[in-house]
Amino acid sequence: MSRALAMQANAPATGDTGAVLLQRRCACGQGASELTGACDDCQRERLLGLQARLAIGASDDPLEIEADRAAARVLRPDVARTDPSRDAPLALTRRSSVPAAAHQAAAPASVHQTLARAGEPLAPATRAFFEPRFGHDFGKVRVHRDALAARSAREVQAQAYTIGHAVVFASGQYDPHSIGGKALLAHELAHVVQQSAASPRTVQRAVVRQGALSIHIDYGPVVLIPDADRADHAIGQIAAFTGAPPPVAQETAMRALTADAQKWLMFALTLVSDNIAAASTLDRGVATQRLVDHAGSALHVPQPDPARAFVREAMRVSGWSETAQAQRLSAPVDPDLSAIDTIVNPPPSTGAIGDPLDAAALNARLPPALTHLLTTLDPAGRANVGTRSLSAFQAIGDVVQTEARSFFAPYADAAIGNLYDLQPAWHASANIFDVGTLTPNAAQRRSYLSNRAEIIGRSDTTSSIVNDANIFADVHFESTRATDRAELAGIVATMEADPAIAPVVDRLIQHTGRKTGTASATRIGLVTDFDADQRSACADHWVGIDTLCHEVLHALVHPDFVATVGRVAFPQVIREGFTEVLGVQLFNDRIVPKANADAAFKTTLETGVTGAPCPAPVAATIGYGSAGSGAEDIRTRVHDQNFRAAYFLGRPELAGLPP
């Protein structure tokens, strides 16, 4: 109101949510708020006139001016949509005709009588409009607009006044649907926020769920900080949060930000500091620097934020999301930890761990087995070749990317710099290419051969493409030994230089899905033909979707997880096994069931496919031999949450792997 009540005279013009409310002694002997100098009971008595009579504040009180400004900031976007005078200042209806000198008069009995009544809550639509703009839960607000309320407003010569959560209106003044009425209500709600800030009691605000975590949103008086004070306020927040003033360079950077960027920073610091308990291992200094660095290029505004996009952005950028999600999980212990170590560091099948490599046996067994795999898979032998539509996969790349984000929430998009939050945005559909257009070079051939040598060498069973099992175990090959790696590299180099082998490898590279590049340079290569004697166009299309799931998962892996390959003897479990397990999960547990239940979704996935609508897709099986089965064994031991956190957040220890 423009006639503030005495409680406002005791409230600070602004509040610092980063500061701790210190307690002192009230005159009654109980603990008192540093802000009000009174305990809760005495403060309530004063508000209700039980110790001292209510007094009427002045219309030119600093809190009144602040409330006007806050209401203007809150409503300006809304007015801009309805008022052609976009640049004109918001004209707020004055609440009083009493001269400024006539303040601090005693409040009449009608005020006390009005406050003793229950009042009515704000309508849901009104709350939905104001709460995201103020960042405040107005569920406790009670509106008084009956005859007694009107009389009390008339007697204090105000159109409206506010005490605590009670907002009292003169006759005909409560009209939240008109511009003028909305402006008046915004002004009074600004007083609600002010008075909430003056109380040491916690006001319950919005909560956003992020998986098993809760993010509490309690912006409080931050919404009322004037533009000119934002940098100073943020500096104070950082000092309170980290325990030390920000470095000079950081303070300089903060002061150089625009007012909007400083606002973003204040709100982000409030979020992180209010929720730090869930991410207690987060480096606070590093987190604040990340926020300062990001504020100038932030994508989302704190108010209004109905989809909570700002909340997700601030918590991700600071590192809170990935820290909190990982912190709540526990790393596996024995016997699971020992079992996992055996999977990624398999012992020899004969002799003892540490026995030297039998190089002669490796050279005698691996090249023929690898050659058998290559010639069996060589696409040159296909008599009837079908064509797979690349455009059909380019059309659904973004669909699979979106489904992966949802299915693997809250991990897939929680890490700092994850693929979903790149700017400009990264889209799978725009980055799918035909691997048949590749012209493989020697390095790519050697990489392919090394990859397949791992699969063959670690395979513990034979099949149509694997004709020799347990090669690495039998010859005591350990990839952690430089001498063993050199021996394998020699075999690969010799085979790559063989004119009979190189063309076969080239064709296989041109018929194998792949992910290339990182971050914004990430691309996904898919095969565009298939063996028509083995499957139909429909069946092949769904095999292609399974491959797309696998490659999208490759694009989402955290680099710290990939780095683990150099710390285990069986790196293929890390390099391909985890990706294969997650890709099959996405396909079998999300894509296929959704397609079977939702005809429109299935139609979208099958657009451009010969023979569509296709029969119900068949579930995929985990491939990549022992690497795939080993990764699945790890998943069953540590469970999905740990498995996914390890992969997407770069926390391999949560899956029992060396950090």
Task: Provide the residue ranges of all domains of the chain, joining segments of one domain with +.
Answer: 6-197, 208-327, 336-655
Q: Pairing relation of β-strands 142-144 and 166-169?
A: parallel
Q: If you ran DSSP here, which 8-state letter would residue 166 be given?
A: E
Placement of tokens 């899905």 in the chain: 513
Closest CA to 314 of 360, 367, 245, 266: 266
Q: How far apart are CA 76 and CA 95, in angstroms?
A: 19
**The pLDDT of residue 77:** 54
Cβ neighbours of residue 2 closer than 8 Å, sequence gap 6 or more: 59, 64, 94, 95, 96, 158, 159
**The pLDDT of residue 63:** 67
**3-class secondary structure per residue, 61-110:** CHHHHHHHHHHHHHHHHHHHHHCCCCCCCCCCCCCECCCHHHCCCECCHH
Q: What is the largest CA-CA distance in the chain?
A: 104
Specify whether the CB–CB gap between 482 and 538 falls below 8 A.
no
**The pLDDT of residue 76:** 67
**The pLDDT of residue 223:** 80
**The pLDDT of residue 292:** 98
**The pLDDT of residue 133:** 85
Within 10 angstroms of residue 639's Cβ, the number of other Cβ atoms is 12
Within 10 angstroms of residue 428's Cβ, the number of other Cβ atoms is 24
Tokens of 168: 């009292």
10-residue stretch averages of pLDDT, the chain, 659 residues long? 34 32 38 42 41 42 72 64 31 35 59 84 91 87 94 85 89 90 90 69 63 89 85 95 96 97 97 96 98 97 90 97 97 98 88 87 98 96 93 97 97 94 93 97 97 93 95 92 95 98 98 95 96 95 97 97 94 96 98 97 95 94 95 98 98 97
**105, 117, 160, 164, 172 from 147: Cα distances, Å:** 22, 12, 13, 21, 11
Angle at the Cα of 414 from the Cα atoms of 409 and 419, rounded to 5 degrees: 95
Q: How far apart are CA 163 and CA 198, in angstroms?
A: 12
Q: If DSSP codes are grouped into helix, strand and coil, which group holds residue 55?
A: strand
Cβ neighbours of residue 524 closer than 8 Å, sequence gap 6 or more: 397, 428, 431, 432, 433, 513, 514, 515, 516, 548, 551, 552, 555
Question: What does residue 582 show for φ and ψ, rounded to 5 degrees?
Answer: -70, -40
Q: What are the beta bridge partners of residue 206?
A: 217
Question: What is the sign of the dihedral through the CA atoms of 642, 648, 653 and 656?
Answer: positive
Q: What are the beta bridge partners of residue 523?
A: 516
Specify whether the CB–CB gap between 648 and 642 falls below 8 A.
no
**The pLDDT of residue 326:** 97
pTM for the structure as a whole: 0.71
